[in-house]
Amino acid sequence: MPLVQLNWNPEERQLKQFGWFSLVLLPLVAWFWGATAFLIGIFFGIGALLALMGMVAPRILKPVFVGLSLILMPIGLVVGEIMLVIVFLLVFLPIGLIFRIMGRDRLQLKIDRRRKSYWQPKEPPSQTERYFRQY
């Protein structure tokens, strides 16, 4: 199973959605980059053309969809990795440090030289039917 799967054969529904999203997102991207009103209008026109093509003949949008997917896939991979690092640093690292400061050792990893054995006896179940009801 590959790490990232690229949709080489999108369905018509997905191509129609791509057309409508381009109608909204292309002008927004131009506006975000600080483009002039004329350039935003051009991007809106391109988005309207893609939306119209998506409604009339969605299969025409397949090369545009696959091409943009190929171009933007590395950006998605990098952003995904950055988000994982941020979640790790902002969530798991502080929790681990707090547990370390508190001295929490739920896995009993500290070595106790005074113990003869680390074996922990387990009580057998009171009824054998319990084996068949695991949850």
Task: Give the 3-state secondary structure of residue 96.
Answer: helix
Instruction: Judge whether residue 5 has pLDDT over 70.
Output: yes
- Do the Cβ atoms of 64 and 26 come closer than 8 Å? no
State the Cα–Cα distance between residues 2 and 5, nearest whole angstrom: 6
Residue 108: what pLDDT?
A: 83
Give the pLDDT confidence of 48-67 residue by residue, as tens digits: 999 999 999 999 999 999 99
Question: Which residues 6+ apart lie within 8 Å of 55 measured at CB?
Answer: 16, 19
Which DSSP letter does residue 92 get?
I
Tokens of 54: 């998506």
Confidence of residue 105 (pLDDT cuts 50, 70, 90): confident
Mean pLDDT of the 74-86 span: 93
